[in-house]
Amino acid sequence: MKRRRTALLSLTALLAGALTALPAAQAGAEEVEQVKNGTFDSGTAPWWTSANVTAGVTEGRLCADVPGGTTNRWDAAVGQNDIPLVKGESYRFSFYADGTPADHVVRAVVGLSVDPYDAYYEVSPQLSVSGNRYSYTFTSPVDTAQGQVAFQVGGSADPWRFCLDDVSLLGGVTPEPYEPDTGPRVRVNQVGYLPSGPKNATVVTDATSPLPWKLKNADGAVAARGWTVPRGTDASSGQNVHSIDFGGFRTRGKGFTLVADGESSRPFDIGSDAYERLSVDAAKFYYTQRSGLAIRDDLRPGYARPAGHVGVAPNQGDTEVPCQPGVCDYRLDVSGGWYDAGDHGKYVVNGGISVWELLSTYERALHARTGQPEKFRDGSLAIPESGNKVPDLLDEVRWELDFLLKMQVPDGQPLAGMAHHKIHDENWTGLPLLPSDDPQKRELHPPTTAATLNLAAAAAQAARLYKPYDPGFAATALAAARKAWAAAQAHPDVYASESDGIGGGAYPDRNIDDEFYWAAAELYLTTGEKRFADHVLNSPVHTADIFGPTGFDWARTAAAARLDLATVPSRLPGRDKVRQSVVKGADRYLATLKAHPYGMPYAPDGNLYDWGSSHQVLNNAVVLAGAYDITGGTKYRDGAVQSMDYILGRNALNISYVTGYGDVTAQNQHSRWYARQLDPQLPNPPAGSLSGGPNSSIQDPVAQSKLQGCVGQFCYIDDIQSWSTNEITINWNAALTWMASFVADQG
């Protein structure tokens, strides 16, 4: 999603009650200790505590009495300031810590001691359970003389005692090599293959000649056999690989394995049941992302939580949110909607493309040759609205649509009809943090043309799909879409600031011809009006080659228009050429898939994987599926179906990027409330949550400390702190929902 963050996780200023301070040490020498008096042999200096913590030296350790009744980790802390850090330098951060009673989670941070309190490295061990001695290596992303080591110990209902010793931040160390456990060298779709669909696998091997392979059933009997096809070196992983094609085997069953070159794959099924479940779970993801609503345990066992951002202390709520200073003089009720990702922000540009892809999932079921709209029947998702005689997917998307409509600038105000770009916290919050415990001030950010066009497109699409169930809402949505379109035409170049990335992602986009094209397309498909058709036909985007290697996303929305113009019935002049353009784009992705040793329709220039690469793979597969819906060509259906293999385990890391689907799956995605890695009392993300996947830019400190020099597929780590490779977002799961539904329909 390309959210260029200028700050990481905000730290609260905890310097009141400081014990002492000493001058900064000199940086840059080999094997230099940066922490002063980390053994506490000289008392407590220069360590400080927050005002509510009392600390002293006991038996050679610093022991702190931590009060109960605090909410957040940073509400109580011990630390040391004036620690120099050198950009690019590797450090070993180590310490001894224990607690009475045991099992408390402590957030240990190396960061900035002044505003904006960036965190450059952090871990959150559970004392005793994690062991009492800890050691980590990381690389500093900055030069500063104002570094800080801090131990955040708040968040406990009851008072407890925290003891610390042997604290060290040693500069000049050799980074510890990171070797991911990639398991068996035979890589398969760990979830399963359709009986009548393609079945392919990849073998990592030094062999250059074909190798024999065997397909074994759950009893170990050989069900099929053949020879691998050598593919040479895969540029996206640096591995020498062979391919296996066992598509001729069509018998359903569970617990199959592939054996080649002395290795057995992880088990997999042949059938469609798993895709039926995945199509539901991927859509269920949105219920637990809801803002402004208590999540019910009976509907999502293990995921119950209080309503977030409804104004219950310490939360300041979203029912009366002011603008950033100088932006406007009114307040808006922007409650509801989905939290965009692992933070507490809500963004119109990402909300718009997410709404489109989920509504497109439903709309495809209405028009496509294999569509099955009954799968979205009332009650199919078990959400609070189930039982109201409206398809559950439409009910879920309505929660976000209502929020998007609230983001429109009211009549009588400057820029009336436009949409505010986003709403989120004034500063970044730390992990873990339930939405209901977020104490930050919330702010509306300036309106933008891009956000306004997202609103116009999403609301126009909604108007035609909700009309059979709620004509009043459909009329309201269409009126909002028309108003937004007029406002965008009157203000065609109001852009989001690239520097507006404190407290939430910036989502900047200065090329919005595609958003104008998309909004006009949706308005035309809903109204049939000539003025919208004229805009579509006269747009340079209409005849442009829009199906590039990295596909479409929130900043590249032309494909949303082109796909709908090609598949939603209309009388658009030249519609056959529109349909041909989709097929031509699919041909390119199909060629990429066939040439790729891992069989996926994604090969970015230089194998530089983008932020959210997993959903870009899926969106390219959506184009393949669209070509199948247009032509009925089996090769397009098979290409789309095969694209799921990479997502579900047939990749260099041998991991499924979907939580709960496969033997080894992503489960520590970056999130403030699906944060079990940091707090054992919180859950991992729910089954059906898609990780962003490999990102060659590795912007976060965890990825930078472990993945330097990574190649393509290896630029990923399943760590909650790796927000650049392992976040979850509403638009990424929308791509998963669309594709899971498509594959299930082919079963």
Residue 540: inside a domain = no
Q: Are residues 189 and 87 in the same domain?
A: no
Residue 283: inside a domain = no
- Residue 520 token pair: 């006009």
Q: Is 564 a catalytic residue?
A: no
Q: Are residues 644 and 688 in the same domain?
A: yes
Res 137 pLDDT > 90: no
Residue 417: inside a domain = yes
Task: Tell me the Cα Rg of the chain.
Answer: 27
pLDDT category, 130, cuts 50, 70, 90? low
End-to-end CA distance of the chain: 31
Res 332 pLDDT > 90: yes
Which of 152, 171, 190 corresponds to the end of one domain?
Answer: 171
Residue % of the chain over a pLDDT of 70: 96
Q: Are strands 268-270 and 192-193 parallel, antiparallel or unpaired?
A: parallel
Contact 164, 95 (CB under 8 A): yes
* pLDDT tens track for 449-468: 999 999 999 999 999 999 99
Q: Are residues 426 and 497 in the same domain?
A: yes
Q: Are residues 266 and 293 in the same domain?
A: no
Q: Are residues 304 and 401 in the same domain?
A: yes
DSSP 606: G
CATH number where 682 lies: 1.50.10.10
From the candidates 234, 509, 718, 745, give the one annotated as an active-site residue. 718
Q: Strand ranges (DSSP E) for 543-701? A: none
Q: Are residues 129 and 181 in the same domain?
A: no
Contact 278, 740 (CB under 8 A): yes
Write down the pTM of the prediction: 0.84
CATH number where 150 lies: 2.60.120.260
Contact 421, 349 (CB under 8 A): yes
DSSP 83: E
pLDDT category, 15, cuts 50, 70, 90? very low
Q: What is the DSSP string of 690-729?
A: BP----TT--SHHHHHH-TT--GGG-----TT-TTTSB--
Nearest CA to 29 out of 86, 83, 95, 93 is that of 86
Q: Are residues 196 and 166 in the same domain?
A: no
In sequence order, what are the residues at sequence separation of 6 or more whose Cβ sits closer than 8 angstroms to the Cβ of residue 425? 343, 344, 345, 438, 440, 441, 442, 443, 503, 504
Q: Are residues 257 and 360 in the same domain?
A: no
* pLDDT tens track for 582-626: 999 999 999 999 999 999 999 999 999 999 999 999 999 999 999
Residue 528: inside a domain = no
Report the alpha-carbon distance of residue 730 to residue 383 in Å, rounded.
17
* pLDDT tens track for 262-275: 999 999 999 999 99
Beta-bridge partners for 222: 216
Dihedral angle at the C-alpha atoms of 735, 736, 738, 743, nearest 10 degrees?
Answer: 140
Angle at 133 between CA 132 and CA 139, to 5 degrees: 135
Least confident of 106-120, 126-140, 256-270, 507-521: 126-140
Residue 429: inside a domain = yes
Q: Are residues 119 and 251 in the same domain?
A: no
Domain that holds residue 721: 177-270+585-746
pLDDT category, 102, cuts 50, 70, 90? confident
Q: How far is CA 44 from CA 55, 58, 150, 328, in A?
A: 8, 10, 14, 48
Nearest CA to 256 out of 197, 195, 211 is that of 195
Tell me what pLDDT residue 30 has.
Answer: 62
Residue 715: inside a domain = yes
Res 81 pLDDT > 60: yes
Q: Is 718 a catalytic residue?
A: yes
Q: Are residues 297 and 443 in the same domain?
A: yes
Tell me what pLDDT residue 18 has.
Answer: 34
- Residue 297 token pair: 């345990």
* pLDDT tens track for 551-563: 999 999 999 999 9
What is the average per-residue pLDDT within 214-239?
98
From the candidates 75, 514, 610, 727, give the one annotated as an active-site residue. 727
- Residue 660 token pair: 């709960």
Domain count of the fold of the chain:
3
- Residue 351 token pair: 């909300």
Which of 509, 539, 555 corresponds to the end of one domain?
Answer: 509
Q: Are strands 144-152 and 77-85 parallel, antiparallel or unpaired?
A: antiparallel
Residue 45: inside a domain = yes
Q: Are residues 686 and 646 in the same domain?
A: yes
Report the alpha-carbon distance of residue 270 to residue 194 in Å, rounded.
6
Report the alpha-carbon distance of residue 171 to residue 27 in Å, rounded.
8
Residue 656: inside a domain = yes
Which of 476, 509, 542 corresponds to the end of one domain?
Answer: 509
Report the alpha-carbon distance of residue 438 to residue 430 in Å, rounded.
10
Tell me what pLDDT residue 131 has.
Answer: 64
Q: Are residues 433 and 312 in the same domain?
A: yes
Contact 203, 212 (CB under 8 A): no
Decide: helix, strand or coil at residue 142.
coil
